[in-house]
Amino acid sequence: MYPEELESREPITTTQGVVLADVEFDVGEIGTSFFKELRDNKRIFGIKCKACGMVYVPPRNTCRECFEKLEEWVEVGDQGTLETFTVVYMPTAHQPAELPYALGIIKLDGADTGLVHLVEAGDLDELESGMRLKAVFRQEREGNIHDILHFTPA
């Protein structure tokens, strides 16, 4: 089919209901290692590129900078810097906390990338980029990102 023929076609649109529900899926080898450390040891690990030294949290398979396969696990701190944040005032289908709540990007000590997570502070007006935060772990952990309950000022 040639591009001219594509341009003359009427686009098809459809409406489908989306149901948000708990979905079980395989998190893969890297996700399994990451979540197992959270669940069993309350430790946060990243994965380091041997070629360029980037440390990714959450971990991933391939370096975004040099496309090398990532295999070297490194423990990062449970404290970090709040890079940026937003305060959520409107309800959503899968909101993680009572309104209003803050979501932030936290660059953990020893990591080069940020982790998106809930930020809990007594007064959301006191949050500011650059502040130091510490991970608070759930008492009962299951092996997912919610094993970190939230981050709070250090």
Token pair for 14: 């459809």
Whether the per-residue pLDDT at 127 is higher than 60: the answer is yes
| Contacts for 145 with CB less than 8 Å, ≥ 6 apart | 35, 38, 58, 117
Domain limits for position 131: 26-153
The answer to whether position 95 is within a domain reads: yes
User: pLDDT tens, 61-114?
Assistant: 999 999 999 999 999 999 999 999 999 998 887 777 889 999 999 999 999 999
The answer to whether position 42 is within a domain reads: yes
User: pLDDT tens, 22-59?
Assistant: 777 788 899 999 999 999 999 999 999 999 999 999 99
The answer to whether position 71 is within a domain reads: yes
The answer to whether position 85 is within a domain reads: yes
> What span, in angstroms and rounded, lies between the C-alpha atoms of 18 and 20?
6
Number of domains in the chain: 1
The answer to whether position 4 is within a domain reads: no
What is the DSSP pairing of strand 79-88 with strand 101-108?
Answer: antiparallel
> What span, in angstroms and rounded, lies between the C-alpha atoms of 120 and 133?
10
What is the DSSP pairing of strand 132-137 with strand 79-88?
Answer: antiparallel
The answer to whether position 114 is within a domain reads: yes
> What span, in angstroms and rounded, lies between the C-alpha atoms of 39 and 142?
6
The answer to whether position 147 is within a domain reads: yes
Whether the per-residue pLDDT at 6 is higher than 60: the answer is no
Contact 100, 124 (CB under 8 A): yes
| Contacts for 97 with CB less than 8 Å, ≥ 6 apart | 118, 150
The answer to whether position 20 is within a domain reads: no
> What span, in angstroms and rounded, lies between the C-alpha atoms of 15 and 141?
38
